[in-house]
Structure 1
Amino acid sequence: MTKTILTYGLIGGVISTIGYIITILTGHENMTNAMIIGFASMFIAFSLIFVAIKSYRDKQTGGVISFGSAFKMGVLMSLITSSIYVIVWLIALYNFFPDFAQQYGDKIVEQMREAGKTAEQINAQIAENAILVENYKNPIMVILYTYMEILPIGLLFSLLAAAILKKKPQPAL
């Protein structure tokens, strides 16, 4: 089980960071496209949870796996994938996007203005952005924000995979 978790968790981590690589190579002016690419790479990475659990169930346990074992595998793979994603984001943030929080906040305000939001709504967003920019000065906060971005998706995939792929032993005849 450990080998399967490590193998697929590491592959998932590499896939989840493809969004960063594409963004760095193509430029990050269009944050909407960068987010779409990033979340698509996360979904592809976490899809490996299904592949890993099914492979383990079919090849290692004679076609049987409990919900608990499958969920445990999914959670551990999610933690590995998410940790790689967080580490790569820290490297990308400090080397390529040092003003990410400010640019992200400015983009949200710009979109709100274009959408015709009220001055009160825009001012509330500006205040929220200031908190984000301040929080992004602390690496621990960056790590927490980044885990909050990716880990819930992995946990959801883990739950779904465990529910779908669980298989009880067939009763003896």
Structure 2
Amino acid sequence: MKNIILKNSIFGGLIVSAVLVFGIDYMMKNPDFEPSMVAGFISMSLAFLFSVLGIYQHRKLNNGIISFGQAFKTGLLIAFLISTIYVVTWLVMYYNFYPDFMEKFGEMTLKRASAEELAAKKTELAWMEKAYKSPLAIIGLTYAEIFPLGIVMALIGALILKKK
């Protein structure tokens, strides 16, 4: 079972991290480029399909039988490891390649904001800049960006694939 969890976590983590690396790199080199939240969501969804695949492989390993609890645990572990790979990738990118990310992101965000949104965006960016001074806050914010979708995908996979 450990092999199933590790393999699926690595494959899912590679997918979501590759999109993160190329997306952030492109965004930083092209300030007029607007990052696509849809592309990020799709890459995360594809990555978390490996948690569903892991649940299926676990069920197959158990002669076609898996409880909801076992299925959810397997999917959740895979989702957590995928999310951890994503968080570590972002930390390496941020601290080693883009330490000025928040400044550039703030500039891009304010350029695109309408007059009505400007004050709210400034407040939000000030909060993020303050949070990004703490590595623990960066880790927490990055997990919050990806892990909830992983929980949902693990739950859906466990509901669909449970079999007594």
TM, length-normalised to structure 1? 0.84
1:10 alignment partner in structure 2: 10
Task: Output the aligned Cα RMSD.
Answer: 1.7
Aligned partner (choices 127, 145, 150) of residue 146 of structure 2: 150
Q: Distance in 2 between matches of 1:40 and 1:134?
A: 29
Aligned residues: 161
2:73 alignment partner in structure 1: 72
1:41 alignment partner in structure 2: 43
Deviations 1:103-128 (A, max 9, x none): 22332322222xxx42xx42232122
1:55 alignment partner in structure 2: 57
CA shift for structure 1 position 99: 1.9
Deviations 1:74-109 (A, max 9, x none): 110011111111001001112222222232233232
Aligned partner (choices 131, 134, 140) of residue 138 of structure 1: 134
1:171 alignment partner in structure 2: none
2:91 alignment partner in structure 1: 90
Q: Distance in 2 between matches of 1:99 and 1:39?
A: 24
Choose 18-27 or 90-99, whichever is displaced more.
18-27
> Would the aligned equivalents of 1:17 and 1:38 in 2 still touch at CA under 8 Å?
no
Q: Distance in 2 between matches of 1:135 and 1:86?
A: 15
Q: Which runs of 5+ in 1 are unaligned?
A: 169-173
TM, length-normalised to structure 2? 0.89
Q: 1:102 to 1:26 in 2, by over 3 A?
A: closer
Q: Distance in 2 between matches of 1:73 and 1:53?
A: 6
CA shift for structure 1 position 20: 2.4
Deviations 1:48-76 (A, max 9, x none): 11111112212x11111111100000110
Amino acid at match of 1:123: A
> Would the aligned equivalents of 2:54 and 2:78 in 1 still touch at CA under 8 Å?
no
Aligned partner (choices 106, 117, 125) of residue 121 of structure 2: 125
Once the two structures are aligned, what percentage of the paired residues are identical? 37
Q: Distance in 1 between matches of 2:134 and 2:111?
A: 25
Choose 47-56 or 152-161, whichever is displaced more.
47-56
Q: Distance in 2 between matches of 1:92 and 1:38?
A: 16
